[in-house]
Structure 1
Amino acid sequence: MSGALNGVRVLDLSRVLAGPFSTMILGDLGAEVIKVEAPGGSDDTRAWGPPFKGGESAYYLCTNRNKKAITLNLKTEEGKAVLKRLVVESDVLIHNFKYGTMEKWQLGYEDLKKLNPRLIYCSITGFGSTGPYKELAGYDYIIQAMSGLMSITGSEESGPLKVGVAITDVITGLYAVIGITSALYERERSGEGQSIDLALFDSAVSALVNVASNYLISGQLPKLLGNHHPNIVPYQTFPTKDGEMVVAVGNDRQFKKLCTLIGKEEWAQDERFATNDQRVRHRYELEALLSEVFKQKTAAEWRDLLNQEGIPCGPINNMKELFHDPQVAAREMVVSMQHPTAGDIRLVGSPLKLSRTPVQFRCPPPRAGEHTREVLRDLGIADREIEALKEKGIL
Structure 2
Amino acid sequence: MSGASGTAGLPLSGLRVLDLTVARAGPTCVRHLADWGAEVIRIAPPASEGGEIAGDQDGFDYQNLHRNKRALQIDLKTPEGLALFMRMAEGADVVIENMRAAVKFRLGVDYASVAAVNPRVVYGSISGFGQDGPYGHRAGVDQIAQAMGGLMSITGVPGAGLVRVGIPIADLTAGNLLALAVMMALFDRTKTGRGRWVHTSLLESMVFMLDFQASRWLLAGQVAGQAGNDHPTSIPTGVYPTKDRPIALAASSPRMWDRFCDALGKPDWKARPGWDSRDGRSDDRAAINAAISEVTATMPSLHWIEVLDTAGIPCGAINTIDQTFADPQVQHLQMAKPVAHPRLGDQKLVRTPINMADIGWDIRSPTPDANQHADAVLGELGLSPDEIDRLRAARAIR
Question: Is this a same-fold pair by TM over 0.5?
Answer: yes
1:148 to 136, 150, 162: 150
Letter in 2 for 1:358: G
Q: Who is 1:327 aligned against?
A: 329
Partner of 2:75: 73
Is 1:370–2:372 an aligned residue pair? Answer: yes
- Matched residue type, 2:40: V
Q: CA offsets per residue over residues 171-219 of structure 1, 9 Å max, x none?
A: 1111011000111011001111000121110000000001111122222
Q: Which structure 2 residues correspond to residues 21-36 of structure 1 after superposition, within 5 A?
A: 21-36=28-43
**Secondary structure of the structure 1 residue equivalent to 2:248:** strand
Whether the 8 Å contact between 1:337 and 1:363 is mirrored in structure 2 is yes
**How far is the alpha carbon of 1:222 from its aligned partner?**
1.2
Residue 45 of structure 1 and its aligned partner are, at CA, apart by 8.5
Could you say which residue in structure 2 is the equivalent of 1:292?
294
Matches within 5 A, 1:50-89: 56-89=58-91
1:235-314 equivalences under 5 Å are 235-314=237-316
More displaced stretch, 342-351 vs 274-283: 274-283
1:346-366 alpha-carbon deviations (Å, 9 max, x no partner): 101111111133333211111
The percent identity for this pair of structures is 35
Partner of 2:358, secondary structure, is coil
Q: Which letter does structure 1 place at the counterpart of 2:31? A: M
Aligned with 1:195 (options 194, 197, 218): 197
CA contact (8 A) 1:39 1:369 kept: no
Q: What does the per-residue CA deviation read over 1:45-66, in whole Å, with 9 as the maximum and x for residues that have no partner?
A: 8655xxxxxx700110111100
Q: How does 1:34-183 map to 2 (within 5 A)?
A: 34-40=41-47, 42-44=50-52, 47=55, 56-183=58-185
Scaled by the length of structure 2, the TM-score of the pair is: 0.95
Contact 1:29-1:360 at 8 Å conserved across structures? no
Q: Which position in structure 2 is the counterpart of 1:18?
A: 25
Deviations 1:147-177 (A, max 9, x none): 0000010012421111111111111111011
Letter in 2 for 1:340: P
Letter in 1 for 2:43: V
How many angstroms apart in 2 are the aligned matches of 1:390 and 1:226?
56
Contact 2:337-2:362 at 8 Å conserved across structures: no
2:242–2:297 Cα contact (<8 Å) kept: yes
Cα distance per residue 1:120-146 (max 9 Å; x no partner): 001110011122100010100111000
Contact persistence 1:93–1:121 (CA under 8 A): yes
SS state of the match for residue 216, structure 1? Answer: helix
Q: 5+ residue gaps in structure 2?
A: 1-7
Q: Helix, strand or coil for the counterpart of 1:344? A: strand
**For the residues of structure 1 that align with 2:55 and 2:184, how far apart are their CA atoms?**
34
Cα distance in structure 2, aligned partners of 1:165 and 1:194: 31
- Return the letter of the residue paired with 1:105: L
Distance 1:243 1:46, change over 3 A: farther
Aligned in 2, Cα 1:248/1:47: closer, same or farther, shift over 3 Å? farther
> Where does the alignment leave 5 or more consecutive residues of structure 1 unmatched?
49-54
Q: TM-score, normalised by structure 1?
A: 0.95
1:6 aligns with 2:22: no
- Is residue 45–residue 60 contact of structure 1 (8 Å, CA) maintained in 2? no
Q: What is the alpha-carbon distance in structure 1 between the residues aligned to residue 392 and residue 288 of structure 2?
A: 69
**Does structure 2 conserve the Cα–Cα contact (< 8 Å) formed by 1:144 and 1:162?**
yes
**Matching residue's letter, 1:28:** D
| Cα deviation, residue 80, structure 1 | 0.5
* Counterpart-to-counterpart distance in 2, 1:347 and 1:377: 30
